[in-house]
Amino acid sequence: MRRSISFILGTTELKSRPFASGVDFLESLSELDPGCVLLDLRMPEIDGFGVMSELARQGADWPVIVMTGHGEVSVAVKAMKLGAIDFIEKPFEEEALLDSLARAFDQLAVTGEASRRRREAGDRIAQLTAREREVLAGLITGMSNKALALRLGITLRTVEMHRANMMDGMGVTSLAEALTLAVQAEIAPLEIAAA
C-alpha cells in the first residue's frame, strides 16, 4: 500500500516519504519539514489515533488525512476530534486521494503562515525585558498607563519609559502593532487584581 501510494504521488510530482510504522514516523518528526500526513489507523506498535495524539502533544499542527479499511462513523468522528481534516476509506480512488491532499496542502499553507507569524512575534517579544513584557501584558487588557503604574507599583513616568522601550524593542510604531504581535505570540494578559 505504501509503495502504491508513493508511486501515485510521484507521478503527480508530490514528494512523499513513506514510513513503516507510526513509531518510525514519530521518531523522524524532528527531521521533517512540515507536510501533510496520510495516516493509516491500523499500524503496528502505535495506531493512527496514538500518532495523532502525539502530533498534537508535540505541537505539530500538520493536516492529517486518515485512511482505513473500516469506515465506521464512530472511527471517523474520533479521527476528526483528534484533528484529522479528512477521512478516506480503503480502497479509494486516486482522484479522491489527490483531492483530499490538495485540500490538506491548502490548509498547510494557511497554518504554516500562522505559525511563521507566531514564531516571528515570539522572537520579537523575547527581546523585551521582563518588565517590558509586564507592561505589554497590561496593555493587552486595556489598562491605561496610570492603571499599569498602580498595578505594578511603579511611577507613571517609569511605565511610559518601559512602554517606549517595548515599542522600540519590538520594532513597532503603534500600540495596535504591538498588541497584534502580542496576540500572535499568545502573550497572556496581565491579571487584574480584584478589589
- For residue 71, the model assigns a pLDDT of 65
Residues 18 and 82 in one domain: yes
Residues 110 and 134 in one domain: no
For the chain, how many structural domains are there in total? 2
As a whole number of Å, the end-to-end CA separation of the chain is 64
Q: Which amino acid is at 61?
A: D
Residues 88 and 21 in one domain: yes
Residues 75 and 152 in one domain: no
Quote the Cα angle for 174-176-180, to 5°.
Answer: 125
Residues 106 and 150 in one domain: no
DSSP, collapsed to helix, strand or coil, labels residue 38 as strand
Residues 99 and 132 in one domain: no
Residues 78 and 133 in one domain: no
Q: 68: part of which helix (H) or strand (E)?
A: strand 64-68
Residues 103 and 137 in one domain: no
What is the Cα gyration radius of the chain?
A: 23
Who's near 122: CB < 8 A, 6+ residues apart? 185
Q: How far is CA 47 from the centre of its chain?
A: 22
Long-range contacts of 51-59 (CB under 8 A, 24+ apart): 51/22, 51/25, 51/26, 52/79, 52/82, 52/83, 52/84, 53/82, 54/26, 55/29, 55/83, 56/82, 56/83, 58/29
Residue 122 included in any domain = no
Residues 96 and 174 in one domain: no
Residues 61 and 94 in one domain: yes
Residue 121 included in any domain = no
- For residue 195, the model assigns a pLDDT of 47
Residue 194 included in any domain = no
Residue 179 included in any domain = yes
Output the domain CATH number for residue 83: 3.40.50.2300
The residue range of the domain holding 78 is 2-114
Residue 174 included in any domain = yes
Q: How far apart, in whole angstroms, are the C-alpha atoms of residue 86 and residue 89? A: 10
Instruction: Tell me which residue of 59, 58, 41 sits closest to 50, measured CA to CA.
Output: 41
Residues 20 and 88 in one domain: yes
- For residue 70, the model assigns a pLDDT of 67
pTM above 0.75, yes or no: no
For residue 133, the cross-strand partners are none
Give the position of cell 501515485: 8
Q: Which amino acid is at 76?
A: A
Residues 73 and 48 in one domain: yes
Q: What are the pLDDT tens digits along the chain (195 aa)?
A: 777 788 788 788 788 888 988 999 999 988 988 888 988 888 878 988 999 999 988 888 889 998 877 667 677 778 888 888 888 887 788 888 888 888 898 888 888 777 778 888 889 999 999 999 999 999 998 899 999 999 999 999 999 999 999 999 999 998 888 988 888 888 888 876 544
